[in-house]
Amino acid sequence: MKRMSTDQIRQAYLDFFKERGHAVIPSASLLPDNDPTTLFTGSGMQPMLPYLLGEKHPLGNRIADSQKSFRSVDIEEVGDNRHTTFFEMLGNWSLGDYFKKEQIPWMFEFLTKTIGLDPKRIYVTVFRGNDVIPRDMESVDAWKTVSASTGIDGKDVDFPEKNGMQDGRIFYYDEKKNWWSRAGEPAKMPAGEPGGPDSEMFWDFGAERKLHERSEWKDQPCHVNCDCGRFLEIGNNVFMEYKKTANGFEKLAQQNVDFGGGLERIAAALNDDPDVFFIDVFTPVRELLQSLSGKTYGSDEETMRAFRVIMDHLRAATFLIADGAPPSNRDQGYFTRRLIRRAVRFANAIGIPTNFTSTIAKAYIAEYGKAYPALASQAESIALVLDQEEVQFRQTLQKGEKELSDFLSQHDTIDGGKIFYFYETYGFPRELTEEIVARQGKHIMHPEHFEKAKASHADLSRTAAAGKFAGGLADHSAETTKLHTATHLLNAALRKVLGPHVQQKGSNITAERLRFDFNHPEKMTAEQIEEVERLVNEAITADLPIAYHLTTVDGAKTEGAIGVFDERYGSEVKVYVVGDPASGSGQIFSKEICGGPHVARTGMLGRLTIQKEESCAAGVRRIKAVVEDGPADIETAGESA
Ligand code: SER
C-alpha cells in the first residue's frame, strides 16, 4: 500500500472531487453559528444543512471539504484505539445533483486507486429496508459493479449480526446501523428533520490479528459492525432524500449525497494499524509525551490509555480555543475545561511534570498550521490560555487534596457519594481518593454510592443535551430564522449609532434569544442602547423586503457589504440586502454577506428588546436581545429579481 501523510490524504481527496466538478470550501468553525440545535459542529453535514434542505449554495450543487468536528459524547470513550473527540471529516455533497450511481464508484476509486487501499479488504453495508423505506438495491448494484471490476465477488448477505460474515462483501443492516440523521434512527427524528439510508465502508485489519479474541465479542460470529476491533468504519455515504413528517416520511425536494469520511481513520487504514494514535499527526506529540513521562507508548494498557486521552483531549482543546471556546464554566468552554483537566489528571498519573499542555498545543499547531492557518496565527494566545488554565487547575487540585485531608482528619469513614463529590468538584479520580483514604487507615462506606451519584449526574447532563436537540432547529426554525434576521438589523444599527468600526465578533442564536458580540472600546450608554433599539424597530415596522444576490468576495466588498470575509463560502458569496434596492441606497438598511436563511420581510419580526449589554473580552461587547412573536408563518428571503 502507498505511504501517504494525513495532509496528503486530505489534499488528494479534495483534489479528487475538485476534478469532478466540486467547489472546495474551507472548514466551518467548530462552534456553529445560528444553529441552536447543538453546541458543536459534530459532522461535516451540519454547516450544510440549509443547502441539503434546498437553499441554494453560492458555489453550486457539488461541494467538498474537510470539516473540523467535535463530539462531546465521545469524551468518556476516549482511551481505546479508535475514539477521538476531535476529528476531521472529509465530505462531499451533491445538493440535488448526482446520486448513488456516481457516488459509490467515485468512493471506490478514491479509496482503492487514489490512495491505494487494497479493495479485497474493504467491506460495505447497506440499508436492509423496513415497512416504509425500501431495501437499498441501487447501492447494492453499484457496489457489485465496482467489486466485479476488480475481480471481487460482491456477494450480498443478510443478517450478518446473527450469522456472521457468510463469505459476504455487502451486508444488510437495519435502521439502527444504516440510516443517518442528526438525531439518529428514524424513530428518534423530530418532524422536519432530514435523513436517509446510508452505505458505510469498512477496512479489515485482518482476521490473523485475532483482535476479536481479546474482546467481549470473542464468542460472537464476527461481522463488520461487531466492534471487536477487526473492522473500522472509514466512511459513510448518506443518501439524504427523506424528511420526517408528523405521520411518517416524505421525499425532500431534492436527492442529496452526504459523504463523511473520518480522515484519521482512513489514515489508520492506510497505515494498516488499528491504533489511530499511530498515524503521523500524533507522532510528534506521542514522542514528546514519551520524553516528558519517561514511559513508552504501548508498554502497558494504563500508560497507553493515558497517552491517548492526553493526545486526543489537548488536540481538541487546541482547536476549540482557536475557534473561540476558551475554558469556562458554561457552554462550549465547559467542554474545553473538562478536556484540559482530564488531560492534566492523566498526565499526573503517568508522571508528567507541571505545565506541559501549552508545549503539546505548540506541537499540534506545528503539525496542523498549514492546513489550518488560523491555528498558526493564534499560537501564542492559545499557549497562554492553556498555561493559565493548567496553573489554575493544579491549584484546584491542591485545594481538593487539602479539603480531603481535612475531611479525613475529622471522620473515620467516607461515603461513596462523597468520593464522587471530590471526583466532580476537583477532578479526583476515584482510585486516587480511595488510595489516600486507605493510606490514612480510614474506611469507605457504601462504595456503590459513587456509581449512583455518577449515574444521576450523567442523567442530568444527558437531559440537558437532549433538551438541546429537542429545542432545536426542527421545531423552531421560524424563530431561529427571525432572530438571524434580527442579528443583521442589530449589526447595521450598531454601526449607524456607534460608528463603522463595529464588526461582528461572534453570534449565537437559540430559539429564545440572540447573542451578538462586536468590537467597541467602551460600555454603551443607555441612550445609545435606546437608539439602536429604536432603529431596529423602525426597520421592522417599515416592513422592508429582504433578498439576496450572488457575487464575488471582491464584488461584495466594492458594493459595501459588511460581514465576515473568512472565505467560508469560497470566492463566490451571497449578499443579503434589507430594504428596497429600487428605491435608492438611502432606503437600504443593511447589506451583509451571509449564507442565510432569512425572513422575506422585516415585518415578520416582532419588536426587538435589548436585555443586556456587557463586556465579553478585552475590547469586545456582548448584547443579548429578544424578539417578540411576530406572525407565526414566515417566508424565507429568496434571490433578488
Ligand atoms: N453525515 C454523515 C456522518 O456524519 C456523513 O457525513 O456520518
Q: Domain check: are 548 and 498 in the same one?
A: yes
Q: Give the pLDDT confidence score for residue 370 in this predicted structure.
A: 92
- Residue range 509-526: average pLDDT? 89
CA separation, residue 303 to residues 298, 382, 407 (Å): 7, 27, 31
- Report the separation in Å between the CA atom of 320 and the middle of ligand 1, taken as the mean of its atom positions: 20
Q: Domain check: are 78 and 221 in the same one?
A: yes
- Residue nearest atom 4 in ligand 1 by C-alpha distance: 43
User: What amino acid occupies position 85?
Assistant: T
In whole angstroms, what is the distance from residue 359 CA to residue 344 CA?
A: 13
Q: Domain check: are 109 and 41 in the same one?
A: yes
Q: Domain check: are 247 and 290 in the same one?
A: no
pLDDT in tens, 154-206: 999 999 999 999 999 999 999 999 999 988 999 999 898 999 999 999 999 98
Quick check: CB of 238 below 6 Å from ligand 1? Answer: yes
Q: Give the pLDDT confidence score for residue 472 in this predicted structure.
A: 32
Quick check: CB of 260 below 6 Å from ligand 1? Answer: yes
The DSSP result for 448-499, as a single string, is HHHHHHHHHHHHHHHHHHHHHHHTSHHHHHHHHHHHHHHHHHHHHHHHHHH-
Tell me the best of 38, 199, 258 to mutate to test the pocket of ligand 1, counting ligand atoms within 8 Å of each CB and taking the most.
Answer: 258
Mean pLDDT, the chain, integer: 89
CATH at 497: 3.30.980.10
In whole angstroms, what is the distance from residue 467 CA to residue 462 CA?
A: 8
- Domain boundary at 214, 231, 265, which? 265
Question: 414 is in which domain, residue-wise?
Answer: 278-468
- Report the separation in Å between the CA atom of 180 and the middle of ligand 1, taken as the mean of its atom positions: 7
- Residue range 249-258: average pLDDT? 96
Q: Is 341 helix (H, G, I), strand (E, B) or coil?
A: helix
pLDDT in tens, 96-144: 999 999 999 999 999 999 999 999 999 999 999 999 999 999 999 999 9
In whole angstroms, what is the distance from residue 253 CA to residue 61 CA?
A: 14
Quick check: CB of 44 below 6 Å from ligand 1? Answer: yes
- Report the separation in Å between the CA atom of 45 and the middle of ligand 1, taken as the mean of its atom positions: 6
**Residue 273 in domain:** no
Q: Domain check: are 457 and 498 in the same one?
A: no
- Report the separation in Å between the CA atom of 282 and the middle of ligand 1, taken as the mean of its atom positions: 24
Contact 583, 589 (CB under 8 A): no
**Residue 211 in domain:** yes
In whole angstroms, what is the distance from residue 143 CA to residue 157 CA?
A: 13
Quick check: CB of 426 below 6 Å from ligand 1? Answer: no
The yes-or-no verdict on residue 618 having pLDDT over 80 is no
Quick check: CB of 196 below 6 Å from ligand 1? Answer: no
Quote the percentage of the chain above a pLDDT of 90: 63
Ligand 1 nearest atom to the CA of residue 43, by list position: 4
Q: Domain check: are 302 and 407 in the same one?
A: yes
- The partner residues of 639 in beta bridges, in order of sequence, read 548
End-to-end CA distance of the chain: 54
Tell me the best of 48, 238, 256 to mutate to test the pocket of ligand 1, counting ligand atoms within 8 Å of each CB and taking the most.
Answer: 238
Number of domains observed in the structure of the chain: 3
Phi-psi region of 472 (alpha: psi -120 to 50; beta: other; left: phi over 0): beta
CATH at 48: 3.30.930.10
Quick check: CB of 195 below 6 Å from ligand 1? Answer: no
Give, in degrees to the nearest 5, the angle at Cα 397 between 393 and 400: 135
567 or 395: which leads in pLDDT? 395
In whole angstroms, what is the distance from residue 83 CA to residue 79 CA?
A: 7
Quick check: CB of 483 below 6 Å from ligand 1? Answer: no
Q: Domain check: are 120 and 228 in the same one?
A: yes
- Report the separation in Å between the CA atom of 44 and the middle of ligand 1, taken as the mean of its atom positions: 7
pLDDT in tens, 51-93: 999 999 999 999 999 999 999 877 878 998 989 999 999 999 9
C-alpha cell belonging to residue 493:
444599527
- Report the separation in Å between the CA atom of 572 and the middle of ligand 1, taken as the mean of its atom positions: 25
CA separation, residue 280 to residues 84, 408, 633 (Å): 15, 47, 52
- Domain boundary at 449, 468, 487, which? 468
Q: Domain check: are 191 and 148 in the same one?
A: yes
Confidence class of residue 585 from pLDDT cuts 50, 70 and 90?
A: low
- Report the separation in Å between the CA atom of 584 and the middle of ligand 1, taken as the mean of its atom positions: 45
Contact 211, 230 (CB under 8 A): yes
Give, in degrees to the nearest 5, the angle at Cα 633 between 630 and 638: 105
Quick check: CB of 180 below 6 Å from ligand 1? Answer: yes
Q: Give the pLDDT confidence score for residue 564 in this predicted structure.
A: 67
Identify the top-confidence range among 323-332, 375-384, 398-407.
375-384
Contact 309, 346 (CB under 8 A): yes
- Residue range 484-512: average pLDDT? 90
- Domain boundary at 468, 490, 520, which? 468
> Residue 75's CB: how many other CB atoms inside 10 A?
19
- Residue nearest atom 1 in ligand 1 by C-alpha distance: 45
Q: Give the pLDDT confidence score for residue 476 in this predicted structure.
A: 47
Closest CA to 167 of 180, 181, 153, 178: 153
pTM: 0.75
Q: Domain check: are 104 and 243 in the same one?
A: yes
**Residue 270 in domain:** no
Quick check: CB of 258 below 6 Å from ligand 1? Answer: yes
Of 163-167, 185-189, 329-333, 514-518, where does mean pLDDT reach its minimum?
A: 329-333
Q: Domain check: are 414 and 518 in the same one?
A: no
Ligand 1 nearest atom to the CA of residue 69, by list position: 4
Contact 136, 239 (CB under 8 A): yes
- Residue range 314-322: average pLDDT? 97
In whole angstroms, what is the distance from residue 306 CA to residue 297 CA?
A: 9
Confidence class of residue 220 from pLDDT cuts 50, 70 and 90?
A: confident
460 or 439: which leads in pLDDT? 439
- Residue nearest atom 2 in ligand 1 by C-alpha distance: 260
Give, in degrees to the nearest 5, the angle at Cα 304 between 298 and 310: 135
**Which residue bears the cell 429578544?**
626
Quick check: CB of 262 below 6 Å from ligand 1? Answer: no
Confidence class of residue 586 from pLDDT cuts 50, 70 and 90?
A: low
- Residue nearest atom 6 in ligand 1 by C-alpha distance: 260
CA separation, residue 526 to residues 520, 532, 533 (Å): 15, 10, 11
DSSP state of 287: H
Of 384-398, 567-581, 582-596, 621-635, where does mean pLDDT reach its minimum?
A: 567-581
**Residue 633 in domain:** no
pLDDT in tens, 463-472: 544 434 332 3
Q: Give the pLDDT confidence score for residue 72 in this predicted structure.
A: 84
**Residue 93 in domain:** yes
Q: Domain check: are 457 and 483 in the same one?
A: no
Q: Which residues contact 113 (CB under 8 A, 6 or more apart)?
A: none
Q: Domain check: are 213 and 292 in the same one?
A: no
Going along 107-189, which residue ranges are E strands?
A: 122-127, 156-157, 170-173, 179-181
Query: Number of H helices and number of E strands within the chain?
Result: 18, 19
**Residue 362 in domain:** yes
Closest CA to 25 of 504, 638, 566, 549: 566
**Residue 535 in domain:** yes
Confidence class of residue 487 from pLDDT cuts 50, 70 and 90?
A: very high
pLDDT in tens, 345-390: 899 989 997 889 999 999 999 999 999 999 999 999 999 999 999 9
The yes-or-no verdict on residue 474 having pLDDT over 70 is no
Query: What CA dihedral angle connects 535, 541, 544 and 548, to 10 degrees?
Result: 70
Quick check: CB of 236 below 6 Å from ligand 1? Answer: yes
**Which residue bears the cell 440499508?**
127
Quick check: CB of 43 below 6 Å from ligand 1? Answer: yes
Q: At what angle are helices 416-426 and 448-470 packed, to 10 degrees?
A: 50
Q: Which residues contact 208 (CB under 8 A, 6 or more apart)?
A: none
The enclosing H or E element of 66 equals: strand 62-70
- Residue range 301-305: average pLDDT? 92
**Residue 464 in domain:** yes
- Report the separation in Å between the CA atom of 232 and the middle of ligand 1, taken as the mean of its atom positions: 15
Identify the top-confidence range among 354-358, 594-598, 631-635.
354-358
- Residue range 509-523: average pLDDT? 87
